[in-house]
Amino acid sequence: MATTIEVKVPDIGNYQNIPVIELLVKPGDVVKKDQGLVSLESDKATMEVPAPVAGVVKSLLVKLGDTLSEGGLVALLETESAAAPVAAATSVPVAAPAPVPTASVATKASAPAPQAQTQMPVAAPQVPPTQTAGAVVPHASPAVRLFARELGVDLTRIAQGSGRKNRLTKEDVQNFVKRALSAAGGSAGPGVTNGEGGLKLLPWPQVDFSKFGATENKPLSRIKKISGANLARNWAMIPHVTQNDDADITEMEAFRKKLGEENKDLKITPLVFLIKACVAALRKFPNFNASLDGSGEQLVLKKYFNVGIAVDTPDGLVVPVIRDCDQKGLVDLARELGEISAKARDKKLGPADMSGGCLSISSLGGIGGTGFTPIINAPEVAILGVSKSAMKPVWNGKEFAPRLILPLSLSYDHRVVDGAEAARFTAYLAQMLGDIRRLLL
Ligand code: CAO
Protein backbone atom coordinates (compact mmCIF):
# COMPACT_ATOMS: atom_id res chain seq x y z
CA MET A 1 0.00 0.00 0.00
CA ALA A 2 1.28 3.49 -0.86
CA THR A 3 2.32 5.61 2.08
CA THR A 4 3.06 9.30 2.06
CA ILE A 5 6.05 10.35 4.09
CA GLU A 6 7.37 13.74 4.99
CA VAL A 7 11.00 14.38 4.11
CA LYS A 8 12.63 16.71 6.59
CA VAL A 9 16.05 18.32 6.83
CA PRO A 10 18.26 15.97 8.85
CA ASP A 11 20.92 16.92 11.38
CA ILE A 12 23.08 19.54 9.68
CA GLY A 13 25.20 20.52 12.63
CA ASN A 14 24.85 24.07 13.84
CA TYR A 15 23.54 25.43 10.58
CA GLN A 16 20.32 27.46 10.69
CA ASN A 17 18.23 29.08 7.97
CA ILE A 18 20.21 27.72 5.05
CA PRO A 19 18.95 28.90 1.66
CA VAL A 20 17.61 26.42 -0.86
CA ILE A 21 19.74 26.99 -3.94
CA GLU A 22 18.63 24.17 -6.21
CA LEU A 23 15.51 22.08 -6.71
CA LEU A 24 16.75 18.75 -7.98
CA VAL A 25 13.36 17.13 -8.60
CA LYS A 26 9.79 18.12 -9.37
CA PRO A 27 6.41 16.64 -8.40
CA GLY A 28 5.80 13.36 -10.18
CA ASP A 29 9.50 12.44 -10.40
CA VAL A 30 10.40 8.91 -9.48
CA VAL A 31 13.36 9.02 -7.12
CA LYS A 32 15.71 6.43 -5.77
CA LYS A 33 16.73 6.09 -2.15
CA ASP A 34 19.42 8.71 -1.35
CA GLN A 35 18.76 10.72 -4.49
CA GLY A 36 19.09 14.44 -3.77
CA LEU A 37 15.80 16.37 -3.65
CA VAL A 38 17.06 19.88 -2.99
CA SER A 39 20.46 21.52 -2.41
CA LEU A 40 21.10 23.86 0.49
CA GLU A 41 24.09 26.14 0.60
CA SER A 42 25.46 28.02 3.57
CA ASP A 43 28.47 30.30 3.31
CA LYS A 44 30.58 27.32 4.35
CA ALA A 45 29.12 24.23 2.73
CA THR A 46 26.74 22.84 0.19
CA MET A 47 24.59 19.87 1.05
CA GLU A 48 21.74 17.91 -0.41
CA VAL A 49 18.63 16.63 1.30
CA PRO A 50 18.25 13.13 -0.12
CA ALA A 51 15.17 10.89 -0.41
CA PRO A 52 15.25 8.56 2.60
CA VAL A 53 13.53 5.86 0.51
CA ALA A 54 12.67 5.26 -3.12
CA GLY A 55 9.31 6.67 -4.24
CA VAL A 56 7.48 9.33 -6.20
CA VAL A 57 7.71 13.03 -5.31
CA LYS A 58 4.16 13.99 -4.37
CA SER A 59 4.95 17.62 -3.73
CA LEU A 60 7.92 19.86 -3.07
CA LEU A 61 7.23 22.07 -0.08
CA VAL A 62 10.04 24.56 -0.71
CA LYS A 63 11.03 26.93 -3.47
CA LEU A 64 14.34 28.50 -4.48
CA GLY A 65 15.50 31.01 -1.92
CA ASP A 66 13.50 29.55 0.99
CA THR A 67 15.57 28.94 4.10
CA LEU A 68 15.62 25.73 6.11
CA SER A 69 16.98 24.43 9.40
CA GLU A 70 17.09 20.94 10.90
CA GLY A 71 13.60 19.38 10.85
CA GLY A 72 12.31 21.74 8.15
CA LEU A 73 9.80 20.11 5.82
CA VAL A 74 11.18 19.62 2.29
CA ALA A 75 8.86 17.31 0.37
CA LEU A 76 6.16 14.68 0.47
CA LEU A 77 7.16 11.36 -0.96
CA GLU A 78 4.82 8.55 -1.90
CA THR A 79 6.34 5.19 -1.31
CA GLU A 80 5.31 1.57 -1.39
CA SER A 81 7.33 0.92 1.71
CA ALA A 82 5.11 1.01 4.80
CA ALA A 83 7.83 1.53 7.34
CA ALA A 84 9.67 4.41 5.85
CA PRO A 85 11.63 6.39 8.41
CA VAL A 86 10.68 10.03 8.22
CA ALA A 87 13.73 11.88 9.40
CA ALA A 88 16.42 9.34 8.74
CA ALA A 89 17.67 11.16 5.70
CA THR A 90 21.36 11.79 5.48
CA SER A 91 22.72 15.13 4.46
CA VAL A 92 25.49 14.84 1.94
CA PRO A 93 28.20 17.40 2.45
CA VAL A 94 29.85 18.29 -0.81
CA ALA A 95 32.18 21.09 -0.10
CA ALA A 96 33.81 22.85 2.76
CA PRO A 97 36.53 25.47 2.78
CA ALA A 98 39.76 23.90 3.92
CA PRO A 99 40.42 26.00 7.00
CA VAL A 100 36.97 25.54 8.55
CA PRO A 101 36.60 21.92 9.63
CA THR A 102 33.14 22.54 11.15
CA ALA A 103 31.89 23.01 7.62
CA SER A 104 31.92 19.25 7.21
CA VAL A 105 28.28 18.74 8.05
CA ALA A 106 27.62 16.00 10.57
CA THR A 107 25.59 13.05 9.36
CA LYS A 108 23.23 10.96 11.43
CA ALA A 109 22.63 7.89 9.37
CA SER A 110 24.66 4.76 9.49
CA ALA A 111 25.44 4.83 5.77
CA PRO A 112 28.81 6.48 5.27
CA ALA A 113 28.48 9.90 3.70
CA PRO A 114 30.88 10.80 0.92
CA GLN A 115 34.05 12.48 2.12
CA ALA A 116 33.75 16.24 2.28
CA GLN A 117 35.87 17.73 -0.45
CA THR A 118 38.13 20.59 0.36
CA GLN A 119 38.08 23.56 -1.93
CA MET A 120 39.26 27.13 -1.98
CA PRO A 121 36.81 29.40 -0.18
CA VAL A 122 34.41 30.89 -2.66
CA ALA A 123 31.77 33.46 -2.04
CA ALA A 124 28.29 32.04 -1.94
CA PRO A 125 26.33 33.05 -5.01
CA GLN A 126 24.55 36.36 -4.51
CA VAL A 127 21.59 35.13 -6.47
CA PRO A 128 20.57 31.50 -6.77
CA PRO A 129 21.24 30.32 -10.31
CA THR A 130 18.09 30.53 -12.34
CA GLN A 131 16.68 27.23 -13.31
CA THR A 132 14.79 26.82 -16.51
CA ALA A 133 11.14 26.39 -15.50
CA GLY A 134 10.08 22.78 -15.66
CA ALA A 135 13.47 21.65 -16.96
CA VAL A 136 14.79 18.39 -15.60
CA VAL A 137 18.09 18.68 -13.76
CA PRO A 138 20.29 15.90 -15.15
CA HIS A 139 22.04 13.53 -12.80
CA ALA A 140 25.32 14.92 -11.52
CA SER A 141 27.31 14.48 -8.36
CA PRO A 142 27.12 17.26 -5.77
CA ALA A 143 30.73 18.19 -6.58
CA VAL A 144 29.87 18.62 -10.26
CA ARG A 145 26.79 20.68 -9.37
CA LEU A 146 28.89 22.88 -7.10
CA PHE A 147 31.48 23.30 -9.86
CA ALA A 148 28.71 24.29 -12.31
CA ARG A 149 27.26 26.79 -9.85
CA GLU A 150 30.67 28.40 -9.34
CA LEU A 151 30.88 28.94 -13.10
CA GLY A 152 27.25 30.03 -13.34
CA VAL A 153 26.36 27.10 -15.62
CA ASP A 154 22.72 25.97 -15.66
CA LEU A 155 23.01 22.17 -15.85
CA THR A 156 19.61 21.79 -17.51
CA ARG A 157 21.23 23.30 -20.62
CA ILE A 158 23.66 20.43 -21.04
CA ALA A 159 21.80 17.84 -23.09
CA GLN A 160 23.48 14.68 -21.88
CA GLY A 161 26.29 13.70 -19.58
CA SER A 162 29.21 11.56 -20.69
CA GLY A 163 29.50 9.70 -17.39
CA ARG A 164 27.99 6.40 -16.31
CA LYS A 165 24.26 6.27 -17.01
CA ASN A 166 24.57 9.69 -18.70
CA ARG A 167 25.61 11.43 -15.51
CA LEU A 168 27.16 14.85 -16.00
CA THR A 169 30.86 15.05 -15.28
CA LYS A 170 33.12 17.99 -14.54
CA GLU A 171 34.49 17.64 -18.10
CA ASP A 172 30.94 18.05 -19.47
CA VAL A 173 30.66 21.35 -17.60
CA GLN A 174 34.11 22.47 -18.77
CA ASN A 175 33.28 21.56 -22.37
CA PHE A 176 30.00 23.45 -22.13
CA VAL A 177 31.86 26.58 -20.99
CA LYS A 178 34.45 26.16 -23.76
CA ARG A 179 31.71 25.82 -26.39
CA ALA A 180 29.94 28.88 -25.01
CA LEU A 181 33.15 30.89 -25.13
CA SER A 182 34.01 29.91 -28.70
CA ALA A 183 30.42 30.50 -29.83
CA ALA A 184 30.79 34.01 -28.49
CA GLY A 185 33.93 34.55 -30.59
CA GLY A 186 31.83 34.24 -33.74
CA SER A 187 29.16 36.60 -32.52
CA ALA A 188 31.43 39.64 -32.30
CA GLY A 189 30.95 39.60 -28.58
CA PRO A 190 33.74 40.26 -26.16
CA GLY A 191 34.46 36.59 -25.84
CA VAL A 192 32.20 35.66 -22.98
CA THR A 193 28.75 36.51 -24.22
CA ASN A 194 26.88 33.56 -25.56
CA GLY A 195 23.51 32.66 -26.89
CA GLU A 196 23.20 29.67 -24.57
CA GLY A 197 23.05 31.80 -21.46
CA GLY A 198 25.66 29.73 -19.64
CA LEU A 199 27.31 32.78 -18.14
CA LYS A 200 24.10 34.79 -18.08
CA LEU A 201 25.53 37.88 -19.73
CA LEU A 202 23.60 40.37 -21.75
CA PRO A 203 24.00 39.95 -25.51
CA TRP A 204 26.67 42.11 -27.08
CA PRO A 205 25.06 45.38 -28.31
CA GLN A 206 24.35 45.26 -32.03
CA VAL A 207 24.71 48.84 -33.25
CA ASP A 208 24.61 50.20 -36.76
CA PHE A 209 27.46 52.69 -36.30
CA SER A 210 27.08 54.03 -39.84
CA LYS A 211 23.94 55.79 -38.62
CA PHE A 212 26.23 58.16 -36.73
CA GLY A 213 28.94 58.78 -39.34
CA ALA A 214 31.36 57.15 -41.78
CA THR A 215 32.82 53.78 -40.74
CA GLU A 216 35.09 51.07 -42.14
CA ASN A 217 35.32 47.40 -41.13
CA LYS A 218 38.70 45.88 -40.30
CA PRO A 219 38.84 42.15 -39.48
CA LEU A 220 40.65 41.22 -36.27
CA SER A 221 43.99 39.46 -36.82
CA ARG A 222 44.19 35.73 -36.11
CA ILE A 223 46.37 36.44 -33.07
CA LYS A 224 43.85 38.93 -31.71
CA LYS A 225 41.01 36.45 -32.17
CA ILE A 226 42.90 33.72 -30.34
CA SER A 227 44.31 35.91 -27.60
CA GLY A 228 40.96 37.70 -27.23
CA ALA A 229 39.13 34.44 -26.52
CA ASN A 230 41.80 33.45 -24.00
CA LEU A 231 41.81 36.84 -22.30
CA ALA A 232 38.02 36.85 -22.08
CA ARG A 233 37.94 33.37 -20.55
CA ASN A 234 40.69 34.23 -18.07
CA TRP A 235 39.05 37.50 -17.07
CA ALA A 236 35.66 35.84 -16.65
CA MET A 237 36.81 32.72 -14.82
CA ILE A 238 39.63 33.96 -12.60
CA PRO A 239 38.86 36.22 -9.64
CA HIS A 240 41.54 38.83 -10.34
CA VAL A 241 42.95 41.24 -7.79
CA THR A 242 45.76 43.65 -8.66
CA GLN A 243 48.30 44.58 -6.01
CA ASN A 244 50.26 47.76 -6.76
CA ASP A 245 53.66 48.63 -5.35
CA ASP A 246 56.70 50.78 -6.12
CA ALA A 247 60.32 49.72 -6.35
CA ASP A 248 63.18 52.15 -5.91
CA ILE A 249 65.46 51.20 -8.81
CA THR A 250 67.91 54.11 -8.57
CA GLU A 251 70.91 51.87 -7.91
CA MET A 252 69.69 49.16 -10.25
CA GLU A 253 69.45 51.70 -13.06
CA ALA A 254 73.05 52.84 -12.51
CA PHE A 255 74.21 49.24 -12.71
CA ARG A 256 72.02 48.57 -15.79
CA LYS A 257 73.63 51.50 -17.61
CA LYS A 258 77.11 50.23 -16.72
CA LEU A 259 76.22 46.74 -17.92
CA GLY A 260 74.84 48.21 -21.15
CA GLU A 261 78.14 50.04 -21.78
CA GLU A 262 80.03 46.80 -21.28
CA ASN A 263 77.71 44.93 -23.67
CA LYS A 264 77.13 47.36 -26.48
CA ASP A 265 75.89 44.62 -28.83
CA LEU A 266 73.00 43.91 -26.46
CA LYS A 267 69.97 45.87 -25.30
CA ILE A 268 69.84 45.48 -21.53
CA THR A 269 66.56 46.86 -20.26
CA PRO A 270 65.03 46.78 -16.75
CA LEU A 271 63.08 43.70 -17.84
CA VAL A 272 65.95 41.27 -17.30
CA PHE A 273 66.33 42.49 -13.70
CA LEU A 274 62.61 42.01 -13.26
CA ILE A 275 62.89 38.43 -14.52
CA LYS A 276 65.60 37.68 -11.96
CA ALA A 277 63.67 39.38 -9.16
CA CYS A 278 60.58 37.35 -10.12
CA VAL A 279 62.55 34.11 -9.93
CA ALA A 280 63.69 35.05 -6.41
CA ALA A 281 60.10 35.89 -5.42
CA LEU A 282 58.74 32.66 -6.95
CA ARG A 283 61.28 30.71 -4.92
CA LYS A 284 60.26 32.48 -1.71
CA PHE A 285 56.51 32.26 -2.40
CA PRO A 286 55.91 28.87 -4.06
CA ASN A 287 52.13 29.38 -4.31
CA PHE A 288 52.89 31.81 -7.12
CA ASN A 289 54.95 29.21 -8.98
CA ALA A 290 51.92 26.98 -9.35
CA SER A 291 48.79 26.22 -11.34
CA LEU A 292 45.39 24.87 -10.35
CA ASP A 293 44.88 21.42 -11.83
CA GLY A 294 41.94 20.63 -14.14
CA SER A 295 39.62 19.89 -11.23
CA GLY A 296 40.43 23.21 -9.57
CA GLU A 297 41.00 21.37 -6.32
CA GLN A 298 44.76 20.85 -6.30
CA LEU A 299 47.65 23.20 -6.70
CA VAL A 300 50.47 21.90 -8.89
CA LEU A 301 53.68 23.38 -7.50
CA LYS A 302 56.44 23.82 -10.07
CA LYS A 303 60.11 23.30 -9.38
CA TYR A 304 61.27 25.10 -12.50
CA PHE A 305 61.33 28.83 -13.25
CA ASN A 306 60.05 29.71 -16.71
CA VAL A 307 58.91 33.28 -17.25
CA GLY A 308 56.54 34.37 -20.02
CA ILE A 309 57.06 37.80 -21.57
CA ALA A 310 54.14 39.62 -23.19
CA VAL A 311 55.38 40.92 -26.54
CA ASP A 312 53.50 43.52 -28.48
CA THR A 313 53.52 42.73 -32.23
CA PRO A 314 51.73 44.52 -35.08
CA ASP A 315 49.24 41.62 -35.15
CA GLY A 316 48.60 41.52 -31.42
CA LEU A 317 49.93 40.19 -28.18
CA VAL A 318 51.94 36.96 -27.84
CA VAL A 319 53.62 35.52 -24.77
CA PRO A 320 56.82 33.56 -25.49
CA VAL A 321 58.42 31.84 -22.52
CA ILE A 322 62.04 32.08 -21.38
CA ARG A 323 62.93 28.78 -19.76
CA ASP A 324 65.03 28.07 -16.67
CA CYS A 325 65.53 31.73 -15.81
CA ASP A 326 67.05 30.69 -12.49
CA GLN A 327 70.01 29.23 -14.39
CA LYS A 328 70.67 32.25 -16.61
CA GLY A 329 72.51 35.48 -15.93
CA LEU A 330 71.37 38.98 -16.84
CA VAL A 331 73.37 39.05 -20.09
CA ASP A 332 72.05 35.64 -21.21
CA LEU A 333 68.52 36.75 -20.42
CA ALA A 334 68.98 40.00 -22.37
CA ARG A 335 70.21 38.04 -25.38
CA GLU A 336 67.32 35.58 -25.19
CA LEU A 337 64.78 38.36 -24.67
CA GLY A 338 66.05 40.05 -27.83
CA GLU A 339 65.81 36.77 -29.75
CA ILE A 340 62.29 35.86 -28.69
CA SER A 341 61.01 39.42 -29.23
CA ALA A 342 62.40 39.34 -32.78
CA LYS A 343 60.95 35.87 -33.36
CA ALA A 344 57.57 37.09 -32.10
CA ARG A 345 57.55 40.12 -34.37
CA ASP A 346 58.64 37.95 -37.36
CA LYS A 347 55.70 35.61 -36.60
CA LYS A 348 58.07 32.71 -36.13
CA LEU A 349 57.02 31.57 -32.66
CA GLY A 350 55.71 28.01 -32.43
CA PRO A 351 53.40 26.62 -29.72
CA ALA A 352 56.41 25.17 -27.87
CA ASP A 353 57.89 28.68 -27.55
CA MET A 354 54.74 29.83 -25.79
CA SER A 355 54.12 26.97 -23.38
CA GLY A 356 55.41 25.98 -19.98
CA GLY A 357 55.37 29.41 -18.34
CA CYS A 358 55.19 29.81 -14.55
CA LEU A 359 54.51 33.55 -14.31
CA SER A 360 54.22 36.20 -17.02
CA ILE A 361 55.53 39.73 -17.14
CA SER A 362 53.77 42.42 -19.13
CA SER A 363 56.03 45.43 -19.41
CA LEU A 364 54.67 48.69 -20.72
CA GLY A 365 57.61 50.53 -19.19
CA GLY A 366 59.06 51.43 -22.56
CA ILE A 367 55.82 53.21 -23.42
CA GLY A 368 54.43 54.90 -20.31
CA GLY A 369 51.69 54.77 -17.72
CA THR A 370 51.69 54.59 -13.95
CA GLY A 371 49.83 51.31 -13.41
CA PHE A 372 47.39 48.88 -15.01
CA THR A 373 45.59 45.59 -14.43
CA PRO A 374 47.23 42.83 -16.45
CA ILE A 375 45.07 39.77 -17.15
CA ILE A 376 46.40 36.48 -15.82
CA ASN A 377 47.70 34.07 -18.45
CA ALA A 378 45.88 30.90 -17.31
CA PRO A 379 46.72 28.43 -15.95
CA GLU A 380 49.37 30.59 -14.31
CA VAL A 381 48.25 32.20 -11.06
CA ALA A 382 49.79 35.64 -11.44
CA ILE A 383 51.13 38.17 -13.89
CA LEU A 384 53.38 41.12 -13.16
CA GLY A 385 52.57 44.39 -14.91
CA VAL A 386 55.40 46.92 -15.13
CA SER A 387 54.91 50.60 -15.91
CA LYS A 388 57.37 53.39 -16.71
CA SER A 389 59.87 54.35 -14.05
CA ALA A 390 59.96 58.02 -13.08
CA MET A 391 62.18 60.21 -10.94
CA LYS A 392 60.24 61.11 -7.77
CA PRO A 393 61.00 62.95 -4.53
CA VAL A 394 61.21 60.39 -1.75
CA TRP A 395 61.49 61.33 1.93
CA ASN A 396 64.62 59.73 3.39
CA GLY A 397 63.99 60.79 6.97
CA LYS A 398 65.74 64.15 6.62
CA GLU A 399 64.85 65.47 3.21
CA PHE A 400 63.25 64.64 -0.10
CA ALA A 401 65.73 62.90 -2.35
CA PRO A 402 65.29 62.21 -6.07
CA ARG A 403 64.80 58.46 -6.57
CA LEU A 404 63.91 56.44 -9.66
CA ILE A 405 60.64 54.70 -8.89
CA LEU A 406 59.29 51.75 -10.85
CA PRO A 407 55.55 51.00 -10.55
CA LEU A 408 54.60 47.32 -10.27
CA SER A 409 51.08 45.92 -10.72
CA LEU A 410 50.68 42.26 -9.81
CA SER A 411 47.38 40.61 -10.78
CA TYR A 412 46.82 37.31 -8.97
CA ASP A 413 44.23 34.56 -8.83
CA HIS A 414 42.48 35.10 -5.52
CA ARG A 415 41.41 31.45 -5.42
CA VAL A 416 45.06 30.53 -4.97
CA VAL A 417 46.72 33.55 -3.41
CA ASP A 418 45.50 35.73 -0.55
CA GLY A 419 45.93 39.49 -0.47
CA ALA A 420 48.52 39.40 2.31
CA GLU A 421 50.65 36.92 0.38
CA ALA A 422 50.42 39.08 -2.75
CA ALA A 423 51.45 42.17 -0.77
CA ARG A 424 54.43 40.24 0.59
CA PHE A 425 55.31 39.09 -2.92
CA THR A 426 55.38 42.62 -4.37
CA ALA A 427 57.15 44.01 -1.29
CA TYR A 428 59.80 41.31 -1.74
CA LEU A 429 60.10 42.11 -5.45
CA ALA A 430 60.59 45.78 -4.58
CA GLN A 431 63.21 44.83 -2.00
CA MET A 432 65.10 42.69 -4.56
CA LEU A 433 65.00 45.44 -7.18
CA GLY A 434 65.97 48.05 -4.60
CA ASP A 435 69.12 46.15 -3.73
CA ILE A 436 70.04 43.84 -6.58
CA ARG A 437 72.96 42.38 -4.61
CA ARG A 438 70.26 40.37 -2.84
CA LEU A 439 69.51 38.58 -6.10
CA LEU A 440 72.86 36.86 -5.70
CA LEU A 441 71.99 35.47 -2.25
N1 CAO B 1 60.69 52.27 -17.22
C2 CAO B 1 61.37 53.14 -17.97
N3 CAO B 1 61.95 52.80 -19.14
C4 CAO B 1 61.83 51.52 -19.54
C5 CAO B 1 61.14 50.56 -18.79
C6 CAO B 1 60.58 50.98 -17.58
N7 CAO B 1 59.88 50.14 -16.79
N8 CAO B 1 61.17 49.41 -19.45
C9 CAO B 1 61.87 49.61 -20.56
N10 CAO B 1 62.27 50.88 -20.62
C11 CAO B 1 63.03 51.52 -21.66
C12 CAO B 1 64.12 50.61 -22.15
O13 CAO B 1 65.27 50.69 -21.35
C14 CAO B 1 64.32 51.13 -23.53
O15 CAO B 1 65.03 52.31 -23.47
P16 CAO B 1 66.49 52.44 -24.17
O17 CAO B 1 66.27 52.04 -25.58
O18 CAO B 1 66.84 53.84 -23.96
O19 CAO B 1 67.33 51.48 -23.42
C20 CAO B 1 62.92 51.51 -23.96
O21 CAO B 1 62.19 51.70 -22.76
C22 CAO B 1 62.21 50.50 -24.82
O23 CAO B 1 62.29 49.24 -24.22
P24 CAO B 1 61.58 47.98 -24.92
O25 CAO B 1 60.15 48.03 -24.68
O26 CAO B 1 62.00 47.92 -26.33
O27 CAO B 1 62.28 46.77 -24.23
P28 CAO B 1 61.85 45.93 -22.97
O29 CAO B 1 62.93 44.95 -22.73
O30 CAO B 1 61.47 46.78 -21.83
O31 CAO B 1 60.55 45.17 -23.44
C32 CAO B 1 59.18 43.78 -24.80
C33 CAO B 1 60.61 44.15 -24.42
C34 CAO B 1 59.22 42.73 -25.83
C35 CAO B 1 58.45 43.28 -23.57
C36 CAO B 1 58.48 45.06 -25.28
O37 CAO B 1 59.06 45.48 -26.47
C38 CAO B 1 57.02 44.91 -25.48
O39 CAO B 1 56.54 44.33 -26.46
N40 CAO B 1 56.23 45.49 -24.54
C41 CAO B 1 54.80 45.51 -24.65
C42 CAO B 1 54.17 44.42 -23.84
C43 CAO B 1 52.68 44.59 -23.86
O44 CAO B 1 52.08 44.95 -24.85
N45 CAO B 1 52.05 44.36 -22.73
C46 CAO B 1 50.68 44.61 -22.58
C47 CAO B 1 49.95 43.34 -22.45
S48 CAO B 1 48.28 43.61 -22.13
O49 CAO B 1 47.74 44.07 -23.55
Q: What is the pLDDT of residues 35-94, one digit of tens each?
A: 989 888 776 566 789 999 999 999 999 998 899 998 999 999 999 854 443 333 333 333
Q: At 428, give phi and psi (nearest 5°).
A: -65, -40
Per the structure, the complete domain to which residue 177 belongs is given by 136-203
Domain boundary among 102, 126, 150: 126
Return the pLDDT at 439.
85
- Predicted TM-score (pTM) of the model is 0.62
Taking the CA atoms of residue 171, residue 173, residue 176 and residue 182 in that order, the dihedral angle to the nearest 10 degrees is -80
Q: Is the CB of 386 under 6 A from ligand 1?
A: yes
For residue range 315-343, list pLDDT tens digits in order.
999 999 999 999 999 999 999 999 999 99
Alpha helices by DSSP H, 123-237: 142-151, 170-185, 222-237
- Residue 17 maps to which CATH number? 2.40.50.100
Query: Is 414 labeled as catalytic in the residue annotation?
Result: yes
Res. 19 pLDDT band, cuts 50 70 90: confident
Residue ID of nearest Cα to ligand 1 atom 15: 366
Residues 101 and 249 in one domain: no
Residue ID of nearest Cα to ligand 1 atom 47: 362
- Given a cut of 90, is residue 273 above it in pLDDT? yes
Q: Is the CB of 309 under 6 A from ligand 1?
A: yes
Q: How far apart are CA 86 and CA 433, in angstroms?
A: 67
| Substitution site in 235, 362, 363 for ligand 1 pocket (most atoms within 8 Å of beta carbon) | 363
**Between 337 and 130, where is the model more confident?**
337
Task: Count how many domains the chain has.
Answer: 3
- Residue 177 maps to which CATH number? 4.10.320.10
**Between 128 and 329, where is the model more confident?**
329
Q: How far apart are CA 156 and CA 137, in angstroms?
A: 5
Res. 381 pLDDT band, cuts 50 70 90: very high
- Given a cut of 50, is residue 147 above it in pLDDT? yes
Residues 167 and 117 in one domain: no
**Between 221 and 117, where is the model more confident?**
221
Question: What is the percentage of the chain residues whose pLDDT exceeds 90?
Answer: 61
Res. 270 pLDDT band, cuts 50 70 90: very high
Domain boundary among 95, 126, 157: 126
CA 144, 163, 94 angle in degrees (round to 5)? 25
Residues 281 and 407 in one domain: yes
**Between 158 and 381, where is the model more confident?**
381
Average pLDDT, the chain: 83
Q: How far apart are CA 398 and CA 395, in angstroms?
A: 7
Q: At 57, give phi and psi (nearest 5°).
A: -70, 115
Beta strand extents in 16-91 (DSSP E only): 18-23, 30-31, 36-41, 46-50, 55-60, 67-68, 73-79
